[in-house]
Amino acid sequence: MVMINLRMNARVPLIIMGETGCGKTLLIKALASLKNVKMIIFNIHSGIDNNKILEFVNENKLTEDKENKFKVDYTKVNKIWVFLDEFNTSNSLGLFSEMMIKRTCLGKPIKKNISFIAACNPYKISSEIENNYNNQIGLKVTTLDIKNVRGLAYSVNPLPYSLLNFVFSFGRLGDKDEEKYIINMVKKYKKGNERFYWN
């Protein structure tokens, strides 16, 4: 949380990579709540293209307005975190890279009070395929990946090289931590008087 906070204060992009369900999104939500920061969540999937991204940017007014560009006093404007959830499921990683690193969207400047956080699943071969080939890929792209996309553990695209320096490996929860995480989730549902179904 301290590392995330430092990066957000410096407006350095942050990409949290970890297994599904390890608590990436929940961690960011909790930190935003503690800091009383407005957070905009963009839930991304394979159907999100450049047009959908531009719609999201325009709806949330993330880019500078030409008329007000030099009039805004950003010391008095609240910080906004834009959370790109599972952003490597989209084929538009080039546009996301521009937004996060160049801080522009098709050339239009992103507002100075906005910081980007992205969460993604690892680009790796599923354990079954991995055992067959006795090869661990991680972030590296090989010919094997291209020929066996169906063998990936998650349906994701490899990250552009420009984003690799910003990846923070969240890993996966240990068995004890996972058990505590599940217990806390169940307690939360019980307190909210929401229905909870067991399979």
- Which pLDDT tens digit goes with each residue over 144-155? 444 444 544 456
Split into its structural domains, the chain has a count of 1
Residue 56 lies in a domain: yes
Average pLDDT along the chain: 76
Dist. CA 15–CA 121, nearest whole Å: 10
**Is residue 93's pLDDT more than 70?**
yes
Locate the DSSP E strands across 86-138.
104-105, 108-109, 114-120
Q: Which residue matches tokens 């560009």?
A: 69
- Residue 49, in any domain of the structure: yes
Burial state string for 48-75 with b = 16 or more CB within 10 A and e = fewer than 16: beeeebbebbeeeebbbeeeeeeeeeee
CATH classification at residue 168: 3.40.50.300
Question: Residue 58 pLDDT more than 90?
Answer: yes
Q: Tally Cβ neighbours within 10 Å of residue 144.
A: 13
Which range in 98-107, 113-122, 161-170, 175-184 is most confidently predicted, on average pLDDT?
98-107
197 belongs to a structural domain = no
| C-alpha distance from residue 15 to each of 57, 101, 121, 163 (Å) | 19, 12, 10, 8
User: What letter would DSSP give residue 162?
Assistant: G
Residue range(s) defining the domain that contains residue 40: 2-121+156-174
User: pTM to 2 decimals?
Assistant: 0.70
Domain assignment present for 136: no
The predicted pLDDT at position 155 comes to 67
pLDDT band at 189 (very low <50, low <70, confident <90, very high): low
Q: Is residue 19 part of a domain?
A: yes
Q: Give a yes or no: residue 55 inside a domain.
A: yes
